[in-house]
Amino acid sequence: MLPTTCGTGLDDPRVAATLKTLHTRTRRDGWVFLRALPAILLAKATGRDISKIVEPYLKDAYISVDPSQGKLLYMTARAIDARLIVEFGTSFAISTIYLGAAARANNGRVIGTEMEPAKVRAARANVAAAGLAPFVDIREGDAMRTLATVEGPIDLLLLDGWKDVYLPMIKMLAPRMHVGTVVLADNIFTYKKALRPYVEYMQDRANGFDSVTLPIGFGHGMEYSVRRR
Ligand SMILES: C[S@@+](CC[C@H](N)C(=O)[O-])C[C@H]1O[C@@H](n2cnc3c(N)ncnc32)[C@H](O)[C@@H]1O
């Protein structure tokens, strides 16, 4: 294993250049929410959950973690020496590249999941451009199916797919975790209503996690949970 000072981390030139390009594309992609604005406003006015309303508008959107969140993913994976990292919701693989850089430095691997075939193709190409293909397996299809066969122990889990799946996903994967497994779940503030049941579940210590909401990412919010038993 190469030491990180040799450029195996986020300072690796291919990783840094690919992330720079993809974050720039994400910023330019911000307008996608304008397409959904009338539907969002109607949902808000009628007190409905906006997560299901925006999903059809986001099929080709980047909607990624921001650089501060990506760094948190990388640093957490490095801090706990994560060997098996699982990601629900890969999109164009921005978060996957942060996690993949940590996996390479840890001698580990990332299993990503994405159900949009065009995004899967682009994500694989982006991971390859970052030089991380040997450390990343992106599974195509519904994550409840593609992750059903993952053998633990899972060291780190990122939840960043559609919001109604966070709770069934954690229930499916929790038996394959160990004490100290970290779960990071994005968009706690973005989809407050849809994710309330998830946050309540994770913050109820009877369910086996210690958990806190971090105000990180521009308006995102992330739930940071550690398996305690
Ligand atoms: C917010 S984006 C992920 C962004 C990515 N984590 C990043 O930071 O670059 C959510 C993605 O999850 C995918 N997704 C949602 N539900 C899914 C499911 N049940 N199975 C697989 N992929 C899913 C969507 O197609 C979408 O591309």
Task: Give residue 40's pLDDT band: very low, low, confident or very high (50, 70, 90).
Answer: confident
Classify residue 56: in a domain, yes or no. no
- What is the span of the domain harbouring residue 109? 9-22+61-227
Q: Average pLDDT, whole number, for the chain?
A: 93
Classify residue 186: in a domain, yes or no. yes
Instruction: Name the residue of 51, 52, 115 to mutate for ligand 1: max ligand atoms within 8 A of Cβ.
Output: 115
Classify residue 4: in a domain, yes or no. no
pTM of the model: 0.95
Phi first, then psi: give them for residue 137, nearest 5 degrees: -120, 110
Determine the pLDDT at residue 6: 52
Report the Cα–Cα distance between both ends of the chain, in Å, rounded. 31
Q: What is the CATH number of the domain that holds 215?
A: 3.40.50.150
Quote the ligand 1 centre to 87 CA distance (angstroms): 9
CA distance 163 to 168: 10
Task: Give residue 28's pLDDT band: very low, low, confident or very high (50, 70, 90).
Answer: confident
- Total structural domains within the chain: 1
Other CB atoms closer than 10 Å to residue 181's CB: what's the count?
Answer: 25
Mean pLDDT, residues 89-101: 98
Classify residue 38: in a domain, yes or no. no
Which protein residue's CA is at the shortest distance from atom 6 of ligand 1?
90
Ligand 1 neighbourhood includes 100 CB (under 6 angstroms): no
Determine the pLDDT at residue 57: 84
Quote the ligand 1 centre to 213 CA distance (angstroms): 21
Q: What is the 3-state secondary structure (H, E, C) of the chain?
A: CCCHHHCCCCCCHHHHHHHHHHHHHHHHHHHHHHHHHHHHHHHHHCCCCCHHHHHHHHCCCCCCCCHHHHHHHHHHHHHCCCCEEEEECCCCCHHHHHHHHHHHHHCCEEEEEECCHHHHHHHHHHHHHCCCHHHEEEEECCHHHHCCCCCCCEEEEEECCCHHHHHHHHHHHHHHEEEEEEEEEECCCCCHHHHHHHHHHHHCHHHCEEEEEECCCCCCCEEEEEECC
Classify residue 28: in a domain, yes or no. no
Higher model confidence: residue 72 or residue 219?
A: 72
Q: What percent of the chain has pLDDT over 90?
A: 79
Quote the ligand 1 centre to 203 CA distance (angstroms): 24
Classify residue 214: in a domain, yes or no. yes
Classify residue 1: in a domain, yes or no. no
pLDDT per residue as tens digits for the range 153-190: 999 999 999 999 999 999 999 999 999 999 999 999 99
Ligand 1 neighbourhood includes 66 CB (under 6 angstroms): no
Mean pLDDT, residues 115-120: 97
CA distance 136 to 124: 9
Ligand 1 neighbourhood includes 119 CB (under 6 angstroms): yes
Classify residue 34: in a domain, yes or no. no
